[in-house]
Amino acid sequence: MEVGIVAQKGNNRAAFLAEDLRDRLREVDVRVAVDEATADALGLDGIPVAEMDGVDLVVSVGGDGTFLFAARGAGGVPILGVNLGEVGFLNAVAPEEAVDAVLAEVEAFRGEGMRVREAPRLAAECDGWRSEPAANEVVVQGARRGRGGGVGYEVRVDGSLYSSGHADGVLVATPTGSTAYNLSEGGPLVHPSVDGLVVTEMCAEGGMPPLLADPGAAVSVTLTDADEAVVITDGRGQRTLDVPTEVTVATTEPPVRVAGPSSDFFEALGKLQ
């Protein structure tokens, strides 16, 4: 078995815990790959996070942002999140329980197999271009937000017109991402056991309430009345598009596969207050 470890960059506590996990895993004959930034902090050899899709389990040590970063490289590999952040919707394991939780997954892998939960990913497409998969959200917006910015838009769900007008942009989120950027834009909270795509208009002039669409739906956003627009995935990947254009957002493979215990959704919500 091989385990990959991705620790929050610049966080000494995360790096030291990654080193402890590495040592304990090697004691039980597990090969360990550490991300390059963590390896530099510890004086080790590391691999790019983009190559973590070749291991059997990825351990993310940090906050939800670190988990999303690890998920980009993990592909369909199960991820176990150790929470060093404040909220921890994606990271269910406390630091003091990290070693035991990871070793339990090693034992499961060597036995009947790890139990994993799946969460959807989204991708945007436009004129032959396809975005990186997003675990939280895809944002389609004008090149500039606020007064004098934004973009004209029409939103269709499986071809049927849902809303139109002028807005800063349109956000499409997974249930996982409902607690992230979607929430700050006035979108609804969605329990992780509920399937669906959340469609939220961003600072729309009029518009419609946020919508929970079928998880298999295709959400198309037609953009007008601007020179440029941008597509942003999970706050990282960004693509500039010429307007007018149409962007389609839908679920994509592989889903995020989450290993280890589940976080308490309502307990994590309480930390947002």
**Which residues line the annotated binding site for NAD(+)?**
64-65, 136-137, 166, 168, 179-184
Burial class (CB in 10 A: 0-12, 13-18, 19+), 12: exposed
Residue of 20, 35, 53, 64 marked catalytic: 64
Residue 214 annotated to the active site: no
What helix, strand, coil percent values describe the chain, rounded to 5?
25, 40, 35
Residues 189 and 235: beta-carbon distance below 8 Å: no
* Torsion over CA: 231, 233, 235, 238 (sign): negative
User: Residues with Cβ < 8 Å from 113, sequence gap 6 or more?
Assistant: none
Q: What residues have CB less than 8 Å from 182, skipping those under 6 apart?
A: 136, 137, 171, 173, 188, 198, 200, 210
Residues classed as catalytic: 64
